Structure 1
């Protein structure tokens, strides 16, 4: 079960609203959603959690690039909403790397003649040189959610200036939103949407 909330900072404190993510397909959609909720281009936090598995916080400050923190990248990678947050940049990959890997896998699958070339060898034949060319299995590891690092990823100082230290954020596991809202002084407004 998922829960998502928007917390928008205003002159009078925080305004909270729950939000539907059905139309959100990419981080840019989520960022636009946050900017639409912003009052005078002030800070907006988008909080997403999958019960007892992971949570993520996206911070949008005006027109600046969004800042992201995910409590468990490997768990989030198995979630459609988590995949929105796990951008190539956050994972330290070259943009479009997955597309390039898929294209290479397709080329390798289409041309079986290269496997007969003694320079490349075949991994299933004696004398094959596994190191000379990456196997399709090695490329598949990049698509495997287990290849995503387990544990926290992203900007752990995302809420430090709002009252929740990096260390405190890294220790949060379940029911993190209550702790975050308490640190921000937004616990009462959050209760109205939870």
Structure 2
């Protein structure tokens, strides 16, 4: 079971709203949903948690690119909502396919092929495409530092109560609980 909420900073403090992400298919669509909720250039936090297994935070400030933090990439990758957040860039992958056919056009058959026997260092879980996904946190753990929630605090949050602790630190725990 998932819990998703949008926390938008306004002139009157933080406002929370629950939201369905069933129709959201990409991080860009998620960021656009956040922008529609936000007020001017004020930040919006998209909060996602899955039954104490993992949580994710997406911060959208106006038209800036969204900043993302996911507490456990391997667990999130097994989730439809997690897949929205886990871009190739966030996972440290090259966005282009290095084995694309157009890159093979000049080969004469004598070249050594790529070594596909091992994934990136430290990755112990594969996604559905056989790509390695890091176990543990990925993304920008400092995305809420200007709110007084530093990198170390974000990395130390336990998934089962992370969103509550974040809302408490922002001073909007009651607002978040009202939409839970």
Q: Which residue in the other structure is 1:183 paired with? A: 169
Q: Which residue in the other structure is 2:28 paired with? A: 28
Which string of whole-angstrom CA distances, capped at 9 and with x for unpartnered residues, describes residues 94-146 of structure 1?
A: 2243xx55x56xx9xxxxxxxxx8x68xxxxxxxxxxx32477669x67236x
Any stretches of 5+ residues in structure 1 without a counterpart?
108-116, 121-131
Which string of whole-angstrom CA distances, capped at 9 and with x for unpartnered residues, describes residues 32-61 of structure 1?
A: 000000012210000011112110000000
- Report the Cα distance in structure 2 between the residues aligned to 1:3 and 1:164, rounded to whole angstroms: 21
Name the SS of the counterpart of 1:16 in structure 2: strand
Matching of residues 54-65 of structure 1 within 5 Å? 54-65=54-65
Name the SS of the counterpart of 1:60 in structure 2: strand
Is the 1:88–1:96 contact (alpha carbons within 8 Å) kept by the matching residues of 2? Answer: no
Over 2 Å off, 4+ runs: 132-139, 141-145
- Report the Cα distance in structure 2 between the residues aligned to 1:134 and 1:60, rounded to whole angstroms: 38
Name the SS of the counterpart of 2:60 in structure 1: strand
Matching of residues 9-88 of structure 1 within 5 Å? 9-88=9-88
- Report the Cα distance in structure 1 between the residues aligned to 2:178 and 2:87, rounded to whole angstroms: 31
1:169 to 139, 144, 154: 154
What is the total number of aligned residue pairs between the two structures?
167
- Report the Cα distance in structure 2 between the residues aligned to 1:144 and 1:77, rounded to whole angstroms: 12
- Report the Cα distance in structure 2 between the residues aligned to 1:182 and 1:96, rounded to whole angstroms: 40
- Report the Cα distance in structure 1 between the residues aligned to 2:15 and 2:69, rounded to whole angstroms: 21
- Report the Cα distance in structure 2 between the residues aligned to 1:150 and 1:133, rounded to whole angstroms: 28
Any stretches of 5+ residues in structure 2 without a counterpart?
120-125
Name the SS of the counterpart of 2:28 in structure 1: helix
Q: Which residue in the other structure is 2:93 paired with? A: 93
Name the SS of the counterpart of 2:141 in structure 1: coil
Name the SS of the counterpart of 2:36 in structure 1: helix
When Rg is computed on C-alpha atoms for both structures, the one with the higher figure is 1
- Report the Cα distance in structure 2 between the residues aligned to 1:31 and 1:176, rounded to whole angstroms: 21
Moved more, 177-186 or 167-176: 167-176
